[in-house]
Amino acid sequence: MKTFYGTPLSNPLMLGTAQYPSPAILDQAFRNSGAGVATVSLRREAGAGQTFWQMVRDLSVHILPNTAGCHTVKEAVTTAHMAREVFDTKWIKLELIGHTDSLQPDVFQLVEAARILSEDGFEVFPYTTDDLVVGERLLAAGCEVLMPWGAPIGSGRGLNNEYALRAMRAEFPEIPLVIDAGIGLPSHAAHAMELGYDAVLLNTAVARSGDPAAMAKAMKLAIEAGRLAYQADPIEARDMAEPSTPVIGKAFLS
């Protein structure tokens, strides 16, 4: 099993902590999901979110702070430093938004910030597109994990470009790959795992569902199913039927 900067994840679900109806429901969702990682935002309200951050620490899972809402390298680097102090971790989910409506990552600034942070000892989880060249640049900048989007953040559209995501998996067979953003349904999460991705990161699909605790469990089951399916070497799709029993020698009944 691939590790994330040396840390293996028994449950390859990374679950966000934003937008839940209450901290109590957030807690239930985490229990039901078995998520191995909690992502948490530091962008807003530097220093004053202590109570909430403590609740996140109390979930007792790995914490992956993020730079959500940052639009420049400088903001992202500052936020990463703050995250390292607050959560005492080298992990940082690097998110640099380039477009307000699609929340598409600004990959140029992303590569630059990834280089600065990697050189500074951070273990960077970059939120990127499915562009292979950008992926190469991020690895060259020091990243050891890539997190391509499935679809824009919060859109719930699933894997918009399966071809590109397959290509990415094929291009980086040894690199832990995480589908980050765009998951709306458990079937999307299963799909990501069936393609051989190593983990799935999601938030809105659980937090904004009608029953976050139930949806968290659905995601857990789907991710398990998808991973098992990938390991079981699924059959290839084909154009014609392939009977599962021999056709020759059967009696003609009509």
Residues 129-158, interacting with another protein (CB under 8 A): 154
User: Which residue among 2, 74, 90, 93 is the active-site one?
Assistant: 93
Residues 36-95, interacting with another protein (CB under 8 A): 44-45, 47-52, 55
Residues 158-187, interacting with another protein (CB under 8 A): none
Q: Which CB sits closer to another protein, 63 or 145? A: 63
Minimum distance from CB of 47 to another protein (Å)?
7
Please report where in the chains the tokens 């199913």 appear, as a residue: 225
Q: Which CB sits closer to another protein, 48 or 237? A: 48
Spell out where 44-107 has E strands: 62-66, 91-94
> Taking CB under 8 A as the rule, does residue 196 contact another protein?
no
Beta bridge partners of 125: 93
Q: Positive or negative, the Cα torsion across 135, 139, 140, 142?
A: positive
Residues 2-31, interacting with another protein (CB under 8 A): 21-25, 27
Residue 208 near residue 21 (C-beta atoms within 8 A): no
| Residue 93 main-chain phi, psi, to 5 deg | -85, 115
> Taking CB under 8 A as the rule, does residue 245 contact another protein?
no
> Taking CB under 8 A as the rule, does residue 250 contact another protein?
no
Residue 154: count of CB within 10 angstroms of its CB: 17
Q: Which CB sits closer to another protein, 166 or 208? A: 208
In angstroms, the CA 214 to CA 206 distance is 8
Minimum distance from CB of 226 to another protein (Å)?
25
Tell me the residue type at 123.
E
Query: Could you confirm whether 220 is annotated as catalytic?
Result: no
Q: Which CB sits closer to another protein, 44 or 250? A: 44
Give first-to-last CA distance, the chain, whole Å: 53
How many residues interact with another protein (rule CB under 8 A)? 18
Question: In which element (H, E) is residue 192 found?
Answer: helix 186-194
Catalytic sites, residue numbers? 93
Q: Which residues bind another protein (CB under 8 A)?
A: 21-25, 27, 44-45, 47-52, 55, 154, 208, 210
